[in-house]
């Protein structure tokens, strides 16, 4: 059996697979140095830990601009890294298609140590409700520096074959929700070196990474799907950090607007998921469930209508002090 067939078998069986040495080390190192420089400029890192992560430093003043990594995110290297023929060959094999599409938005994240003021880790979740579109989407998650379970490697969970959406419960984490722990299968966490990639399907539960080390766990993510599958407009309409793609691609030589004449059929984003979450959080808060507080904060800020936002805000005030991020 070929290496790619073995990867495909493992991915289909488990919902995830680790591919060692997949990413171009030179491009990854250039991006890693942009990430490190940003942390140093923000005054939240100083030197490196013994395992090679930027060493965490408490900021004098918290700043909402921290952790956006704008220079690295908008670098053409982020596109080159994922359009690499070796990455494409793996995606073609896993998706069983010759026509693969890379989502234009890529994410760079920094996970600070658990006991620090900047620690913020998404709970265990599935990507599909946020991304929508193709049920065959694959997330590629890769660390910039060596990572293991203690220093924040991303856990992925098994689920039953063929199972799609899993039930949610309220939780005191940044999204306010997590997959119910009773339905989760085995937890899997990998030691990964720069260049290694963790690939998982859009329904594969993942998240809840804990960083008990002294450094920043820094990672990059991209999403891939068959070109013929639908793509929700929310993943396409706008870059993450600039107002439009024209601005985002300024100065790029090769990959700017790579999707202009070649992109999947675009569909609307279905907002009913978010409405359900907001209304359920309000209902549970009325019953006195303190675990609704983080979800209420989101409903108070982003709820679809003014009555939802003001109702969530009033309930939040009655729970003051339960969840301070």
Ligand X SMILES: O=C(O)CCC(=O)C(=O)O
CA distance 113 to 151: 8
Dihedral over Cα of 16, 18, 22, 27: its sign: positive
Least Cα distance to 107 among 218, 208, 18 occurs for 218
Residue indicated by tokens 């994922």? 82
Please check whether residue 141 is in contact with residue 194, taking contact to mean a CB–CB distance below 8 angstroms.
no
Near ligand X by CB under 6 A, which window of 75-83, 88-96, 203-211, 248-256? 203-211
Residue from the set 82, 141, 177, 203 that interacts with ligand X by CB under 6 A? 141
Residue from the set 36, 38, 78, 139 that interacts with ligand X by CB under 6 A? 139
* Residues constituting the chain: 325
Build a one-symbol-per-residue string for 58-97: x at contacts with ligand X by CB under 6 A, - elsewhere. Answer: ----------------------------------------
Other residues' Cβ atoms within 10 Å of the Cβ of residue 107: 16
Q: Is residue 122 within the footprint of ligand X (CB under 6 A)?
A: yes
What would the DSSP string read from start to end of 54-92? EEE---SS--TTTT--HHHHTSHHHHHHHH-HHHHHHHH
Closest CB 122 distance from ligand X, rounded Å? 5
Residue from the set 207, 215, 226, 264 that interacts with ligand X by CB under 6 A? 207
Residue from the set 23, 112, 154, 218 that interacts with ligand X by CB under 6 A? 154
Residue from the set 14, 127, 229, 278 that interacts with ligand X by CB under 6 A? 127
Q: Is residue 209 within the footprint of ligand X (CB under 6 A)?
A: yes
Q: Is residue 112 within the footprint of ligand X (CB under 6 A)?
A: no
| Residue numbers 241-270 binding ligand X by CB under 6 A | none
Near ligand X by CB under 6 A, which window of 78-86, 174-182, 204-212, 242-250? 204-212
Q: Is residue 102 within the footprint of ligand X (CB under 6 A)?
A: no
Please check whether residue 35 is in contact with residue 66, taking contact to mean a CB–CB distance below 8 angstroms.
no
Closest CB 12 distance from ligand X, rounded Å? 20
Build a one-symbol-per-residue string for 162-201: x at contacts with ligand X by CB under 6 A, - elsewhere. Answer: ----------------------------------------
Least Cα distance to 314 among 293, 274, 170, 273 occurs for 293
Residue from the set 14, 42, 196, 221 that interacts with ligand X by CB under 6 A? 221
Q: Which is nearer to ligand X, 211 or 312 (CB)?
A: 211
Q: Is residue 109 within the footprint of ligand X (CB under 6 A)?
A: yes
Residue indicated by tokens 């290496």? 3
What would the DSSP string read from start to end of 180-212? -GGG---EE---B-TT-EEEEETTS-B----B-
Q: Which is nearer to ligand X, 105 or 284 (CB)?
A: 105
Q: Is residue 278 within the footprint of ligand X (CB under 6 A)?
A: no
- The tokens describing 264, both together, are 């999947």
CA distance 317 to 23: 47
Size of the site for ligand X (CB under 6 A): 13
Q: Is residue 229 within the footprint of ligand X (CB under 6 A)?
A: no
Q: Which is nearer to ligand X, 156 or 308 (CB)?
A: 156
CA distance 218 to 220: 7
For residue 281, the surrounding DSSP H or E stretch is helix 272-286
**Contacts with ligand X, residue ranges (CB under 6 A):** 109, 111, 121-122, 127, 139, 141, 154, 206-207, 209, 219, 221
């Amino acid at each position: 059996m070929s290496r790619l067939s073995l990867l495909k078998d493992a991915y289909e069986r488990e919902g995830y697979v680790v591919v060692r040495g997949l990413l171009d080390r030179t491009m990854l190192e250039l991006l890693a140095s942009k990430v490190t420089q940003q942390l140093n400029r923000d005054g939240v890192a100083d030197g490196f830990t013994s395992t090679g992560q930027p060493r965490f430093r408490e900021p004098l003043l918290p700043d909402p601009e921290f952790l956006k990594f704008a220079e690295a995110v908008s670098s053409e290297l982020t596109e080159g890294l994922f359009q690499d023929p070796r990455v494409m060959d793996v995606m073609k094999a896993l998706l069983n298609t010759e026509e693969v599409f890379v989502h234009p938005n890529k994410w760079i994240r920094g996970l600070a140590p658990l006991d620090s003021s900047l620690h913020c880790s998404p709970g265990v979740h599935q990507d599909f409700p946020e991304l929508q579109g193709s049920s065959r989407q694959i997330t590629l998650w890769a660390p910039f520096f060596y990572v293991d379970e203690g220093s924040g490697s991303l856990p992925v969970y098994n689920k039953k074959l063929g199972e799609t959406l899993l039930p949610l419960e309220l939780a005191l984490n940044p999204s306010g929700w997590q997959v119910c722990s009773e339905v989760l299968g085995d937890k899997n966490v990998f030691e990964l070196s720069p260049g290694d990639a963790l690939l998982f399907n859009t329904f594969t539960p993942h998240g809840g990474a804990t960083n008990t080390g002294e450094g920043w766990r820094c990672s990059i993510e991209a999403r891939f799907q068959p070109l013929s599958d639908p793509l929700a407009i929310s993943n396409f309409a706008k870059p993450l950090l600039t107002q439009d793609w024209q601005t985002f691609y300024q100065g790029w030589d090769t990959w700017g607007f790579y999707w202009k004449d070649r992109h999947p059929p675009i569909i609307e984003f279905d907002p009913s998921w978010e409405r359900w979450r907001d209304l359920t959080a309000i209902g549970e808060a009325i019953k006195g469930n303190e675990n609704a507080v983080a979800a209420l904060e989101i409903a108070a800020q982003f709820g679809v209508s003014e009555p939802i936002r003001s109702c969530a805000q009033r309930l939040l005030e009655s729970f003051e002090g339960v969840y301070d991020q």
